[in-house]
Amino acid sequence: MSKIPNKAVLFTAYDRIGYLARTLDSWRNVRGLEDWYFYASVDPSQHSQAIVDLFAQFTRDTGLSFHSTHLNDRKLGVLHHPWRGFEDLFNNGMEFVVRVEDDLPVSDDFLEYMDWSRKEFQDNEDIAAVIGYQSDFQGDEGAVLIQEGFSPWNWGIWKDRWDYYIRDTWDHDYTTYNGQPGHQSGFDWNLNTRVLPERGKSCVYPAQSRVQNIGEHGTHARASDFPQSASFHEHYGPVEYRLVK
């Protein structure tokens, strides 16, 4: 039997069946998925069985060898849920983990981009994370940028970054903020405006987005404030990635 990979996709989901089905459809086209450990973590809801069934069908359709689906004993919530997944995977031997969500479809080269960046920047201590989303066009399809700021829309991190300054600074309950309680709170704002700037860290971004947002409705989403990427494409041919200064 082949050795279990040391890189993982952490897919968190709750109760949005329609979004998850659409997003998993995009993942059926992703190249290189068989080289990753696929871990689906599901918060319990009235739709738990339907969510678990969607993941089961996906793993059958894609023929994945390395995968598991875990239904949490209790609802962990939008902030704590990804932290728990990262912690479990890193504690079980993973060296790089990409966290993805149920309302964020990806391009077919999403994992090729992640894997190239994982290897290219693993020894660059100035880089905190690899981001999959880009709001608009910043270059051609192979261009990769180093930018300040953090986006939570499908991102990957190395174990050492997790251990050194992300795990223990994580905002699990909106208790970090800028200016006044509740303003710019949550783990994403905490990383974006406090943790990474204070440490002088940047992130890797694609010049053209490998992620699209379809989540009009959710804990932190509403139809009146619904950003989408203008540069996202579902399909890319083989791409030669390169860092653009």
Residues sharing a CB contact under 8 Å with residue 27, sequence separation 6 or more, in sequence order: 33, 58, 62, 105, 106
- Is 2 a member of any domain? no
Single pTM value for the model: 0.94
* Nearest in space to 13 (alpha carbons), one of 63, 69, 64: 69
Which amino acid makes up residue 135? S
The per-residue pLDDT for 174 is: 96
- Is 27 a member of any domain? yes
The per-residue pLDDT for 222 is: 54
In this predicted structure, the answer to whether residue 219 has a pLDDT above a threshold of 90 is no
Span 43-61, pLDDT tens digits: 999 999 999 999 999 999 9
The range of the structural domain enclosing residue 47 comes to 7-243
In this predicted structure, the answer to whether residue 221 has a pLDDT above a threshold of 70 is no
Region 118-134 average pLDDT: 98
- Is 1 a member of any domain? no
The CATH number of the domain holding residue 190 is: 3.90.550.10
**Average pLDDT over all residues of the chain:** 94
CA distances 107 to 98, 182, 234, 238, Å, are 14, 34, 4, 12
User: Which helix (DSSP H) or strand (DSSP E) does residue 18 occupy?
Assistant: helix 17-27
The total number of structural domains in the chain stands at 1
pLDDT-derived band at 1, boundaries 50, 70, 90: very low
- Calpha distance 132→151 (Å, rounded): 8
